[in-house]
């Protein structure tokens, strides 16, 4: 976190947090909701329908990335000076992209520019989304990078995970894989709706 942000928090403690003004979509794009309505559909079938306006300024994006953290309940926020701005997560706290290969495997970094050095587990859902529990935090592999990451995942016997899945018979339990930014770790299969509880984050943050 930036030193001037820490100083602002110390100078003006107790500034109320705000909700509904910011979201992060599944492509890793920050979206501003000028009407504060990001959570207006939280109880609707599609709580992410309000897309907001894309934030594109490189300086603002870098500032947000440096001051993006999580509270003890799994709610993620942007620390804007002395004020917490809680974020609606359309998928996960981080969106993961591939980079230059390391040891023949693609490297991973977050949408905020953090390098992923460790993956503790992979999670594949019925929606075809691939999530990872990484050292920066829980992340969704971006759609444009999904094929290259799946192609790099190997069972411990060297078999491609894609080949295991395409062989049919359902998802094998207890599958341990090798992949980007990790040695052997488990690959789990679960419902998309269960991802937040399994990975420990809140998609639709509410005030206490």
Domain boundaries, the chain: 3-89, 94-198
Using a cut of 0.85, tell me whether the model's pTM lies above it.
yes
DSSP H helical ranges for 12-155: 58-66, 146-152
As a whole number of angstroms, the distance between CA 85 and CA 82 comes to 10
CATH 3.10.540 fits 3-89, yes or no: yes
pLDDT in tens, 39-67: 999 999 999 999 999 999 999 999 999 99
Residues ≥6 apart with Cβ < 8 Å to 55: 29, 30, 31, 32, 61, 64
Q: What is the mean pLDDT of residues 171-181?
A: 72
**Which secondary structure element, helix H or strand E, spans residue 166, and what is its range?**
helix 161-166
C-beta atoms surrounding 112 within 10 Å: 20
Closest Cα partner for 106 from 161, 178, 180, 183? 180
């Amino acid at each position: 976190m930036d030193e001037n942000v820490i100083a602002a928090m110390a100078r003006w403690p107790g500034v109320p947090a705000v909700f509904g003004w910011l979201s992060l979509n599944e492509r890793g794009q920050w979206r501003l909701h000028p009407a504060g309505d990001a959570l207006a559909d939280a109880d609707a079938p599609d709580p992410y329908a309000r897309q907001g306006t894309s934030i594109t300024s490189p300086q603002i994006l870098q500032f947000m990335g440096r001051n993006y953290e999580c509270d003890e309940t799994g709610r993620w926020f942007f620390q804007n000076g002395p004020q917490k701005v809680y974020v609606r997560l359309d998928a996960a706290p981080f969106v993961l992209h591939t980079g230059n290969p390391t040891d023949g495997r693609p490297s991973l970094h977050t949408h905020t520019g953090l390098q992923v050095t460790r993956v503790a587990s992979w999670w594949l859902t019925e929606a075809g989304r691939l999530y990872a529990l990484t050292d920066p935090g829980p992340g969704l592999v971006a759609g444009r990078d999904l094929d290259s990451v799946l192609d790099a995942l190997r069972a411990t016997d060297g078999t491609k995970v894609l080949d295991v899945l395409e062989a049919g018979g359902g998802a094998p339990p207890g599958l341990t894989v090798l992949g980007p930014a990790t040695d052997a770790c488990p690959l789990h299969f679960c419902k998309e709706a269960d991802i937040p509880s399994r990975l420990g984050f809140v998609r639709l943050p509410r005030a206490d």
